[in-house]
Amino acid sequence: MELPNLNRQVLHWEEDIGEKKPLSAARKLAKLNPTINITIIPGETPCLTCIFPTVPKREDTFPVFGTTPAFIAALQVAEAIKLLAGFGILLTKLNL
């Protein structure tokens, strides 16, 4: 987590700078709900390293439009709810 990213991070705060986002998020979500189990779908969905195997050079990165992360986050939340509730069809199951 870096300071310039905080304006787009709902779940991360200044105290989280330097911490890995998944760990920061898991810690906060566990505080909200101690019975929560933070899962991905192992073997079915890619991890970030699978998608981006090498870290881009700083000069190769570009800022994103502010609503883009919010849109992606909403999509991820919808997928998590479908997975946890056993309701609907996950996007990973669609043949697009």
Nearest to 90 by CA among 32, 34, 40: 40
Q: What is the 3-state secondary structure (H, E, C) of the chain?
A: CCHHHHHHCCCCCHHHCCCCHHHHHHHHHHHHCCCCCCCCCCCCCCCHHHHCCCCCCHHHCCCCCCHHHHHHHHHHHHHHHHHHHCCCCCHHHCCC
**Does residue 5 have a pLDDT over 90?**
no
Which residue type sits at 48? L
Q: Tell me, what's the pLDDT at 77?
A: 92
Nearest C-alpha neighbor of 88 from the set 80, 70, 96, 47: 80
> Which pLDDT belongs to residue 42?
64
Q: What is the pLDDT of residues 10-32, one digit of tens each?
A: 788 889 888 888 788 888 888 88
pLDDT computed for residue 89 by the predictor: 92
The pTM score is: 0.47
Q: Which of 79, 73, 81 is nearest to 92 (CA)?
A: 79
Q: What is the reported pLDDT for 78?
A: 94
pLDDT digits (tens, 9 = 90+) for 39-89: 766 677 777 787 778 877 777 666 677 788 888 889 999 999 999 899 999
